[in-house]
Amino acid sequence: MSQFFDPTIRALNNNLNLRLQEQNVIAGNIANADTPGYKAKAVSFEQAMRDALNLEENVKLETSSPEHFGSKGADAVEADVYDDPNGIETLDGNTVDRAAEMTKMKENQILYNASIESLRKKLGMLEYGVTEGGGNK
């Protein structure tokens, strides 16, 4: 994301990317709720968000190619996906609690929508500043 945008917009962008990743993991859990031996996955969202907010403090490497180490930048923040240790194993070895996953999915969707609304309002303020707030017409 361009350095033109302020830290709030970058944080909201990272939040949306991480929420999307979490939604995909939850959807995978729900899809595999009847798969014998499947272990429910979880996302380390909070740690990934903390890391994303601290990217500004990290030293940025200059690279000459997008394949070089360190060239991903703030937009490439990803959370760690791990086997959920809180899952209760059923007789077939599956640890997915479908009702709990549906609840997580709804909560994640609400938080995603709230981030979208915050980003929309922030961009609206920028638009106002550029178009109407200048004074000279």
Encode pLDDT of 65-123 as tens digits.
Answer: 666 544 445 456 788 899 998 889 999 999 999 999 999 999 999 999 999 999 999 98
pTM: 0.74
- Identify the domain containing residue 115 by its residue range: 7-131
Report the number of distinct structural domains present in the chain.
Answer: 1
Kindly state whether residue 137 falls inside one of the protein's structural domains: no
Kindly state whether residue 122 falls inside one of the protein's structural domains: yes
**In terms of Cα–Cα distance, which of 79, 63, 59 is closest to 71?**
63
Could you report the per-residue pLDDT of 35-53, keeping only the tens digit for each? 999 999 999 877 777 777 7
Helix (H/G/I), strand (E/B), else coil: 75: helix
The tokens for 28 are 């995978």
Kindly state whether residue 136 falls inside one of the protein's structural domains: no
Could you report the per-residue pLDDT of 7-18, keeping only the tens digit for each? 888 888 889 999
